Amino acid sequence: MGARGADIQPRGVNRVDAASYVGVGVTKFDEMVADRRMPRPRRIDARKVWDRLELDAAFEALPHDEESVESENPWDRASV
């Protein structure tokens, strides 16, 4: 790659880089893919590649520290 190529961030990343990108280890990343908190990979021939933009969207959907996955939705309490 030339000097211009060094500035380009890859859109597709391998499993190890995808885990690192979202800040977890590979084992935790695999769990998150299995339970759909992280996206499934795309295929390029025999390679599995994660889309960086899909990783961004999945990461943004994760709850913040003060939020609980099981927390009650205030709309559930609204009278009908």
Give the predicted TM-score (pTM) of the model: 0.74
Tens digits of pLDDT across the chain (80 residues): 555 667 888 999 999 999 999 999 999 999 999 999 999 999 999 999 999 999 999 999 999 988 666 666 666 666 55
What confidence score (pLDDT) does residue 79 get? 59
Q: Provide the 10 A C-beta neighbour count for residue 52.
A: 16
Q: Are 11 and 51 in contact (CB under 8 A)?
A: yes
Alpha-carbon distance of 3 to 34, in angstroms, equals: 38
Alpha-carbon distance of 72 to 33, in angstroms, equals: 25
Is residue 32 classed as helix, strand or coil in its secondary structure? helix
